[in-house]
Amino acid sequence: MMRKLISVVWVIAAVCTALQTVAAPKNFIIILADDQGYGDLSCFGSKRIQSPNIDRLASEGMRMTQFYMASSVCSPSRAGMLTGRMPKRVGVPRVLFPHSTTGLPPEEVTIAEILKTKDYATALVGKWHLGHQKQFLPTNQGFDSYFGIPYSNNMSTSPDLAVAKNVKFAQGWTADKLKQDLAAIKADSKSRNNLAPLMRGNEVIEYPVDQSQLTKRYTEEAVRFIHENKDRSFFLYLAHAMPHVPIFASDAFKGSGENPFCDSIHEIDWSVGEVMKALKDTGLDQDTFVIYTSDNGPASAGSAGPLRGRKFMTFEGGVRVPTVIWSPGEVPAGVVCDEMVSALDLLPTIAGYVGAKIPVDRVYDGQDVADLLAGKTGTSPRNVNYYYQATQPDIDGIRVGDWKFLHKGGRNRKGQKPRTFEPMLFNLKEDPREKNNLYKSNPEKVEELKKKMNEFDASIK
């Protein structure tokens, strides 16, 4: 199968480039876990978590060992994945909250909007976290339908959210109590924790949602969407709330693991199995591209496996995530890919599969990696990864090939104190755990990487 390879668009052009495709996948499913670490699947070495359905995807597809998110926290990583552009470039460099007034700008083009140009049915089931005002919601970003929570499950509702007339209240909440609380939130700009609103379309339909049922309900919604669109090309973005804190699982999975964190991933693995069953039942299992990944590294309960660091950090454990890609006939079975790939690459790759045009009035940071996924080349077109701080729009590091440089003087997770570590230089091929700092012994390499890092950052200010 021949296909043009999209190169990174570094300059503004006046026309769009059409991409050639032959016998590409018809449907696309992105399954995203929340705060799941590199070591939190059995196919990535976990001894405490059993993930047979995701393991099967890996054995029938490709396991990616160096797959990066564009950030180590929720909102920016999702913005980068859906647009193929760095979070700072699209104006979402940090986490959004119920009191935030910004979101993913409507003029940004998402994967869903690219696929709408090819008449795809599109749905988001799950967590959005790219702005909760109406103009930022999924239905204004290319998704035909939306069912889920607008931000992290440890957050609450907002005065900006429309409430359905037939909203279902729980846990003692009433319309009057919600009205009073929303007025208080508007007055003090403080959100209430762990009271997530469930939305359908642009309205809150349940408050607060029973989080123990979220994974189950998301799965049912996803399966229903697949069956309803079995005769039409579709894009399903299934963004789970778990295992982000507070961690929940339904009764069927409580106690299935050594702790609630493991329970929640066991249920997500079940969910993957249900989605795959739906594809088989509808005869779409040979026509669908499925990727399973996580938005960033683990929080306190998860594991980054052999990698250093976690969520909020620019060490590998914060941004390198467990990823499996499955696409019969397109992605060879049982392959382990050690090449560098980014979630930024999904948009241009999917556009290439369907022969869609991507706007060239903007800079894209993603690249088409279809030839790598198909096994036509053993080398990724991506040789560089940039690391940005989680709480500030400041660049923190760069990786070129095997060499990684981390800058001095970032902020901690609350943006309050400078980090105390000195600048760091690692050779990730020889030292994947980032233990041996080569900064002082390789001044020329440091200057080379620092120069490239600063030039890139300056180009998007």
Percent of the chain with pLDDT over 70: 91
Which pLDDT belongs to residue 24? 72
Q: Please, are residues 346 and 291 in contact by the beta-carbon 8 Å criterion? A: yes
What's the Cα-to-Cα distance from 373 to each of 154, 182, 293, 337, rounded to whole Å?
A: 36, 48, 15, 8
Distance CA 62, CA 55 (A): 10
The mean pLDDT value of the chain amounts to 92
Delimit the domains of the chain by residue range: 27-382, 385-459
Is a pLDDT exceeding 50 seen at residue 12? no
Is a pLDDT exceeding 50 seen at residue 20? no
Lowest mean pLDDT among 105-109, 169-173, 433-437: 169-173
**If residue 76 lies in a helix (H) or strand (E), which one and from where to where?**
helix 74-83
Tokens 């998704």, located at residue: 143
Number of H helices and E strands in the chain, helices first, is: 10, 17
Which pLDDT belongs to residue 189? 61
Q: What's the whole-model pTM score? A: 0.93
Lowest mean pLDDT among 61-75, 225-239, 339-353, 415-429: 415-429
Distance CA 26, CA 24 (A): 6
Q: Which of 74, 54, 43, 417 is nearest to 245 (CA)?
A: 74
Q: Please, are residues 247 and 253 in contact by the beta-carbon 8 Å criterion? A: no
Catalytic residue among 43, 74, 262, 337: 74
Strand partners, 336: 63
Query: Residue 28: exposed, middle, or buried by beta-carbon count in 10 A (0-12, 13-18, 19+)?
Result: buried
Q: Which of 252, 224, 257 is nearest to 238 (CA)?
A: 224
Catalytic residue among 16, 43, 129, 266: 129
What is the CATH code for 27-382?
A: 3.40.720.10
Q: Please, are residues 43 and 305 in contact by the beta-carbon 8 Å criterion? A: no
Which pLDDT belongs to residue 184? 76
Higher pLDDT pick, 138 / 11: 138
Is a pLDDT exceeding 70 seen at residue 418? no
- Catalytic annotation present for 16: no
Tens of pLDDT, residue by residue over 42-54, are 999 999 999 999 9
Which pLDDT belongs to residue 180? 85
Which pLDDT belongs to residue 318? 97
Which pLDDT belongs to residue 417? 52
What's the Cα-to-Cα distance from 137 to each of 34, 123, 205, 225, 329, rounded to whole Å?
A: 19, 12, 15, 19, 35
385-459: which CATH number, 3.40.50.300, 3.30.1120.10, 3.10.100.10, 3.30.360.10? 3.30.1120.10
Which pLDDT belongs to residue 19? 36
Q: Which of 255, 177, 166, 241 is nearest to 210 (CA)?
A: 241
Identity of the residue numbered 70: A
Q: Are strands 121-126 and 62-64 parallel, antiparallel or unpaired?
A: unpaired
- Catalytic annotation present for 43: no
CB atoms < 10 A from the CB of 378, how many? Answer: 10
Which pLDDT belongs to residue 17? 37
Mean pLDDT value across residues 106-117? 98
Distance CA 191, CA 153 (A): 12
Tens of pLDDT, residue by residue over 288-340, are 999 999 999 999 899 999 999 999 999 999 999 999 999 999 999 999 999 99
Q: Which residues of 402-418 are buried (b: 16+ CB within 10 A; e: fewer)?
A: ebbbbbeebbeeeeeee
Mean pLDDT value across residues 134-160? 96
Q: What is the CA radius of gyration of the chain?
A: 21
Q: Please, are residues 267 and 216 in contact by the beta-carbon 8 Å criterion? A: yes
Q: Are strands 335-337 and 403-406 parallel, antiparallel or unpaired?
A: unpaired
Tens of pLDDT, residue by residue over 394-407, are 999 999 999 999 98
Tokens 């020889």, located at residue: 430
Which pLDDT belongs to residue 419? 54
Which pLDDT belongs to residue 409? 43
The pLDDT confidence band at residue 190, using thresholds 50, 70 and 90, is: low
Is a pLDDT exceeding 80 seen at residue 22? no
Tens of pLDDT, residue by residue over 196-205, are 999 999 999 9
Q: Please, are residues 329 and 23 in contact by the beta-carbon 8 Å criterion? A: yes
Q: What is the dihedral of CA 398, 395, 292, 1, to 10 degrees?
A: -50
Percent of the chain with pLDDT over 90: 84
What's the Cα-to-Cα distance from 194 to each of 40, 191, 214, 289, 295, rounded to whole Å?
A: 24, 9, 13, 34, 20
Is a pLDDT exceeding 90 seen at residue 187? no
